[in-house]
Amino acid sequence: MLGIIGAMDEEVLKIKEAMDQVEIKTAAGMEFFCGKLKGLDTVVVRSGIGKVNAAICTQILADQYQVDAVINTGIAGSLENEINIGDIVLSTDSLQHDMDASGFGYALGQIPRMDTLAFPADKRLADLAEECCKKVNPDIQVFRGRVVSGDQFISDKQKKNWLSENFKGACTEMEGAAIAQTAYLNKIPYLVIRAISDKADDSASVDYPVFEAKAIEHSVNLVVEMAARLAG
């Protein structure tokens, strides 16, 4: 069983439309669409925005659906000049940029008493995603890198530079690291897939609504192709 999480309706609607034999259940105010995606047993859910929603959603997937893997799909702001609007980022790992326990001697982003700074993504899923992306989105670039998450929409160049300098992230968003942490604790392979909707700088509030739809289209194309390949 594959679990697919998107933060917003727009990010999961097209995936839901591609599913067959769907049964819908509600938990924690979230609708879980369980059925077949390209022949693969799949559950698709909109988590809502932010780290708490994302973590709750992932734990429900673990407890109630016993998913074998989790993919988090959606959009993000680029933190690197060469990663352009429309491109795809596949997570190598994920961390929470708004976690700061440095007063206790922890590195910025590290959760106290956790044995890792960043939560590593599943390389097998990333390899498959890169291969699928090149097939279904040949007009864009695909990158691998760190996804940094926080309960903030980044639209300030100074904040963007701070994220880049401290965390060496490829992109920034609001859910991936919470999903990563929950998957890590439950020993479930995960991958964050992010289509770039803006440059996470002073132009972000203008670019985001303009490029959101195209970015979502790229990530949906990729996820559906991955499901087809995983189904064999």
Active site residues: 11, 198
Other C-beta atoms closer than 10 Å to the C-beta of 21 total 8
User: Can you read off the two tokens belonging to residue 61?
Assistant: 């997937």
The closest of 198, 194, 197 to 214, measured between CA atoms, is 197
d(CA 33, CA 124): 25
**β-strand pairing of 190-198 with 171-173:** unpaired
H/E stretch holding 46: strand 40-46
Other C-beta atoms closer than 10 Å to the C-beta of 39 total 12
The closest of 148, 175, 162 to 94, measured between CA atoms, is 148
